Amino acid sequence: MSDGFDVVVVGGGLVGASAALAIAHAGCSVGLVDRARPQPSTGDFGMDIRNIACSPASRDLLAGLGVFPGLDAVPYRRMQVWEERGTAALEFDAEEAGRAELGWILENAPTVAALWAGLERHPRVTIRLGTVTGLKCTAGQVHVALSDGAIGARLLVGADGARSVVRELLGVATTQLATGQQALATIVRTGRPHDGTALQRFLLDGPLALLPSREASASSVVWSQSPPEAERRMALADDRFCAELETAIEARLGRILAVDRRFVFPLVQHVVDDFNPRDRVLLIGDAARVLHPLAGLGANVGFEDVRDLRANLERLPAGSDPGRAGLWRTFARRRRVRARLMVAAMAGFRYAYAEGSPTLSWLRNGAVGWINGNATVKRQIIREALGLGPLAAAW
């Protein structure tokens, strides 16, 4: 048994790897456990199909950890949001928020690889490869059994993703919100360049997003839809799929010329009932809450967990116990309130855009038109979405 870490982080994805690095930067010794090293995952177009729209607040976190700049980040400056049924549309422009960009599109695998490179260089970090098979919390320590050995620490951070084993082993209750949808993800080449514009169209069956990629005329696609439609579109020949997508996005990028491999993800939303379910245990990232990808916020709120975690550790006097009873209750309360708000907002958005009644459609179009014409309200919405407004700062 290798004992004596201040903190063990289980899961070295976007959130766990950045948490481990932030904790080491805060002066603690860290053991990071993952079942495998991150693997490059490129599709046929040479890019990772999994992307995140990274907010300026998340960019600041990654910059503080030394991994940004250095990533092949694609700035996006504009966002267009419209719907299948309505006439009103929302257009967000970075200039309206007094910024050069709204955010950056990052490919998952290179971002995780850059975080791991930072972890491997850091003298306070030890990486252990293995699967977590058991957990035991005692008065002064958490003991983590691995497929190959064991590891112990004064604080355990579970960041092992949506199907968290840490959460399961501890029997932590979650509140589930069925989405009834799956997300089809891929990359497409388009007739016109994306020009740094993210597109989102609310279709009756679910939201469709095209995010600008590293290539000027390629965009990554996340298309939320019912499981039968996802199954049907997965089976379509490439040219038929391109034609359907071109119609669905109203050819805003011209012809859809080619499509990479297609993947389907189940879409779940859940929030744990407690982000600090035992003394000495925290859950963060997708292990704690999973959001519908329609607003591109999942990793960004996971990075918020990391910022909050680091701020708490930095406030501790040197040498104090980072797993002390009661230390994380405020953190857990704040994270849970924020998570519940976000899950409810995603469900509300989905409902508002899927609901077919003429009254709701009229109200929605009126509201969207009003927001689009009101520069002050729009500026505030943009700043909140970027993690720079007072609401985002309050959590």
Site residues (CB under 6 A) for ligand FAD?
A: 10-16, 33-35, 52-53, 131-132, 159-161, 165, 183, 185, 222, 265, 285-286, 293, 296-300, 302
Measured distance CA(67)–CA(170) in Å, rounded = 33
Nearer to ligand FAD, 141 or 269 (CB): 269
Which residue lies nearer to ligand FAD by CB, 269 or 364? 269
Name which of 106 and 256 has its Cβ closer to ligand FAD.
106
Nearest approach in angstroms of CB 140 to ligand FAD is 23
- Name the burial class of residue 21, with classes exposed (0-12), middle (13-18) and buried (19+) by CB atoms within 10 angstroms of its CB: buried
CB of 30 to ligand FAD, least distance (A): 15
Closer residue to ligand FAD in complex, CB, 141/220:
220
What one-letter code names the amino acid at 281?
A: V
CB of 159 to ligand FAD, least distance (A): 5
Please provide the DSSP assignment of 379-390 as one string: HHHHHHHTT-SH
CA-CA distance, 197 to 392, in Å (whole number)? 24
The closest residue (CB) to ligand FAD is 13
CB 327 within 8 A of CB 312: yes
User: Where would I find the H helices in the chain?
Assistant: 14-25, 56-64, 108-121, 165-169, 227-235, 238-248, 298-315, 329-354, 358-373, 375-385, 390-394
CB of 366 to ligand FAD, least distance (A): 29
Query: Hey, what amino acid is at 26?
Result: A
Q: C-beta of 5: minimal distance to ligand FAD in Å?
A: 15
- Bridge partner list, 74: 105
CB of 361 to ligand FAD, least distance (A): 27
Comparing CB distances to ligand FAD, the nearer of 151 and 364 is 151
Pairing of strands 78-83, 74-76: unpaired
Cβ-based nearer residue to ligand FAD, 12 or 364: 12
Element (H, E) at 174: strand 174-190
